Amino acid sequence: MCIRNETIENSGDNMTVEDTSGNTRVPRYQPPWNTPYIIGIGGTSGSGKTSVASQIVTAINVPWTVLLSLDNFYKPLTPEEGKAAFENKYDFDNPRAIDMDLAYHCLRSLKEGKCFEVPVYSFVNHNRVPGKSIRIYGASVIILEGIYALQDVRILDLMNLKIYVDADLDVCLARRLSRDIVERGRDLDGCLSQWERFVKPNAVKYVRPTMRNADVVVPSMSDNRVAVEYLVSHIRSKLRAKSYEHVKELNLLEGTDLTPLDENPRVHKMHKTPQVLALITMLLDKTVCREDFIFYFDRLSTILLSKVLENIPLEGHTEIVTASNNAMANSAMINFDKVAAVDLIRSGDCFIHSLRKTLPNVPIGKLLIQSDSYTGEPQLHCEFLPRGINKFKKVMLLETQIISGASMVMAIQVLLDHGVSVSCIDVVVFTATEQGLRRILNAFDGKVNVYVAILVTTEQLHNGNKEWCLSRFVERLYFGCP
């Protein structure tokens, strides 16, 4: 087994971007799913590609590893072709049977960080299942598996690692027979004739030559444990390098602009009225009991959410007749149904009680982003977003504490990838560090609005006694578990 000329793209080389005037500026944020690590696994039918792929998926254990099969990209058959297929006379093993354009388009979209609907193919009906597809978004590792995974030049160019699984054709036949008969409901004679007529000739003519496109050739199932372990440790080291680049880039987002955040019109600090300050004092007091903490946090967050809504865009003006039967021209119209919220599990959940009291019908999306304990890299684990989230005029993004800002930067990117306009996003947060806020503002051209109750500046942190803003005490006390 050998590994050669593998490429890994990271943005480390173009950290700063030259604009037309020749000045360097802070780079935009590149989420890890804009540089997914793409692995191709090819090999003849029945060679054990799926087994190698699943061993890799299990071993690297990265959230959002997507295992794609080229089987999903079979072309839909015409009625005549369908008839031939049912009589085992259709050549599924010819490269032309696969929609390589669509497969390429899919990988391209995922590589650009966009969401893609992968069709679902039915082997029983020999057609795409109508109205059914698998939505893929935010993958940081993509494994494309299929007999022709290493054939199309365009697809090869997108791959970081190309693996060919090699097996003796007799072994392949044996595996194929048991799979097609048991799992795909075919009969023995049909399978044998298909093997002789299509599978074997195509394997020899088209599949085996793709071996030369591979970086690595892995022997088939029975004795490939060492080879796969070796591959996995190689992939791990590449992924770790990618994580460090991501973290490094996140840190760079802080920028060098030192204009005080108080002067930034996008940063809306809560007025420290006597009430607000008294509430904050009770919340920061370590002797506060949980019951009080929850009550006072709900109160404070209600005030904060109301502040966010103060700026709700008007729907125009209209004439109404009041219940006292007086006409009123030019009455300001607002529509709270144009507001959506997305919370970051678990800390953003602390806002939900107040949010429901303020906007009972508000659609609420949820994102789970966690930091890897080893690299500190934020990772998107899952995203549940309201349908048509790009249609809302205001999307509140809720998190109780911003410390490094990394997960919030990632959350904003998820919304942008789903078509939400950056100026519609309102970040709502209880405590935030200056460093975290600067990253968020810089990552998106300073266009995101931030509503914050307590902002701790870097200078205050250096002077000591504000360390509490670096501990996630809010969610711990609100939910009562560590």
For residues 350 and 380, which CB has a smaller minimum distance to another protein in the complex? 350
Nearest residue to 176 (alpha-carbon basis) of 292, 69, 47: 47
Give the position of tokens 């205050």.
Answer: 460
CB closer to another protein out of 102 and 303: 303
Q: Which pair of structure tokens corresponds to residue 217?
A: 């050739």
List, in sequence order, every beta strand (DSSP E) within 43-190.
65-69, 116-122, 127-136, 141-145, 161-166
Distances (CA, A) of 261 to 59, 108, 376, 433, 477: 44, 38, 26, 11, 29
CA-angle at 30, arms to 26 and 35, nearest 5°: 140
Of positions 8, 177, 192, 309, contacts another protein by CB under 8 A: 309
Q: Considering the complex, what minimum distance in angstroms separates the CB of residue 463 from another protein?
A: 11
The answer to whether 232 touches 60, Cβ cutoff 8 Å, is yes
- Give the nearest distance from C-beta 337 to another protein in angstroms: 12
Is there binding between residue 462 and another protein (CB under 8 A)? Answer: no
Interface of this chain with another protein, residues 149 to 178, rule: CB under 8 A: none
Q: Which of 198, 207, 201, 204 is nearest to 87 (CA)?
A: 198
Residue 302 interacts with another protein (CB under 8 A): yes or no: yes
**321 is an interface residue for another protein by CB under 8 A:** yes
| Per CB under 8 A, 332 contacts another protein | yes
Instruction: Report the C-alpha gap between 55 and 49 in whole angstroms.
Output: 10
List 360, 374, 462, 481, residue binding another protein (CB under 8 A): 360
* Closest listed residue to residue 92, CA positions, set 202, 13, 182: 202
Q: How far is the CB of 311 from another protein (least distance, A)?
A: 6
Q: 54 to 83, contacts with another protein by CB under 8 A? A: none
Residue nearer to another protein on the CB measure, 92 or 451: 451
Among 259, 325, 373, 463, binds another protein (CB under 8 A): 325
Q: Toward another protein, which CB reaches closer, 218 or 455?
A: 455
Neighbouring CB atoms inside 10 A of 188's CB total 10
- Which of these ranges, 330-338, 395-403, 410-418, 428-436, lies near another protein under the rule CB under 8 A? 330-338
Q: Which member of 7, 58, 193, 471 binds another protein (CB under 8 A)?
A: 471
Minimum CB separation from another protein for residue 479, in Å? 15
Q: Which two tokens stand for residue 139?
A: 């993958």
What is the separation of C-alpha 40 from the centre of its chain, rounded to a whole number of angstroms? 20
Establish if 124 lies at the interface with another protein (CB under 8 A): no
Is residue 458 a contact residue for another protein (CB under 8 A)?
Answer: no
Rounded CA-CA distance 57/82 in Å is 34
Answer yes or no: are the C-beta atoms of 184 and 80 closer than 8 Å: no
Size of site (CB under 8 A) for another protein: 48
Binder of another protein out of 30, 55, 358, 433 (CB under 8 A): 358
Q: Compute the least distance from the CB of residue 422 to another protein, in Å.
A: 20
Cis, peptide link before residue 135, omega less than 30° from 0? no
Cβ distance to another protein smaller for residue 134 or 334: 334
Q: Are 42 and 144 in contact (CB under 8 A)?
A: no
Question: Which residue, 117 or 337, is less far from another protein as judged by CB?
Answer: 337
* Contact assessment for residue 249 and residue 15, using Cβ atoms and an 8 Å cutoff: yes
Residues 256-295 that bind another protein (CB under 8 A): 271, 273-275, 277-278, 280-282, 284-287, 295
The reply on whether position 465 binds another protein by CB under 8 A is yes
Q: 132 vs 271, which CB is nearer to another protein?
A: 271
Give which of 364, 368, 373 is closest to 347, Cα–Cα.
Answer: 368
Task: Confirm if 474 and 285 have CB atoms less than 8 A apart.
Answer: no
CB distance 478 to 294 below 8 Å:
yes
Residue among 131, 464, 481, 482 that touches another protein (CB under 8 A)? 464
The reply on whether position 312 binds another protein by CB under 8 A is yes
Least separation, in Å, of the C-beta of 396 and another protein? Answer: 13
Residue 481 interacts with another protein (CB under 8 A): yes or no = no
Helix (H, G, I), strand (E, B) or coil at 121: strand
326 contacts another protein (rule: CB under 8 A): yes
Q: Which of 102, 252, 303, 352 binds another protein (CB under 8 A)?
A: 303
Tell which phi-psi region holds residue 81, choosing left (phi > 0), alpha (psi between -120 and 50) or beta.
Answer: alpha
For another protein, the binding residues (CB under 8 A) are: 271, 273-275, 277-278, 280-282, 284-287, 295, 299, 302-303, 306, 309-314, 318, 320-328, 331-334, 358, 360, 464-468, 470-471, 473
